[in-house]
């Protein structure tokens, strides 16, 4: 029953996302709102997904984070487990599973530092970062 509900919700989300008009404008609006938050401005490290074509485009946020001196970590599923990798350049990303931009083999081979993530609410972004590959955590 849980799997059926999850599949239904996933299909509904994909349908809604595919109907979005002016996706780039929406992404820009979301980025602008994020980057003025006091929590974002005060953060020294950023854990963020790399958006696919259908998601909020996060590469501009990642670039801006580096420009302001923040460290950036991105999630990647490895052997069924979510791992976080610190990246310093877009060049350290490459298309992997389903064409999603993820850390390159060189970056994945390096030992990763731990990350502590504080979340105020369960959101779709948190679900993707914590769930990875459709798993419940």
What superfamily in CATH does domain 39-137 come from?
NagB/RpiA/CoA transferase-like (3.40.50.10420)
Question: What pLDDT, on the 0 to 100 scale, is given for residue 69?
Answer: 95
Question: What pLDDT, on the 0 to 100 scale, is given for residue 38?
Answer: 93
Round to whole Å and give the CA distance between 70 and 78. Answer: 25
Question: What pLDDT, on the 0 to 100 scale, is given for residue 53?
Answer: 78
Round to whole Å and give the CA distance between 132 and 56. Answer: 17
Q: The whole model's pTM is what?
A: 0.70
Q: What residue ranges of the chain have pLDDT lower than 70?
A: 1, 111-137
Look-up: residue for tokens 């696919």?
Answer: 52
Round to whole Å and give the CA distance between 44 and 132. Answer: 24
Question: What pLDDT, on the 0 to 100 scale, is given for residue 136?
Answer: 41
* Residue 102 structure tokens: 């993820």
CA 64 to each of CA 4, 16, 75: distance values in angstroms, whole numbers, following the listed order: 39, 29, 18
Question: What pLDDT, on the 0 to 100 scale, is given for residue 135?
Answer: 44
Provide the 3-class DSSP secondary structure of residue 96: coil
Cα dihedral angle (35, 122, 90, 78), rounded to 10 degrees? 170
């Amino acid at each position: 029953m849980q799997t059926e509900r999850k599949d239904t919700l996933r299909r509904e989300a994909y349908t809604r996302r595919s109907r979005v008009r002016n996706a780039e404008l929406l992404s820009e609006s979301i980025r602008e709102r994020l980057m003025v938050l006091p929590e974002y401005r005060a953060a020294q490290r950023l854990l963020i997904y790399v958006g696919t074509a259908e998601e909020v485009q996060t590469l501009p946020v990642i670039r801006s984070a580096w420009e302001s001196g923040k460290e950036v970590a991105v999630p990647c599923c490895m052997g069924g487990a979510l791992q976080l990798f610190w990246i310093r350049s877009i060049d350290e990303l490459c298309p992997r599973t389903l064409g999603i931009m993820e850390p390159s083999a060189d970056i994945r081979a390096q030992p990763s530092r731990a990350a502590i993530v504080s979340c105020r609410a369960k959101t779709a972004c948190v679900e993707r970062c914590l769930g990875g590959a459709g798993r419940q955590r």
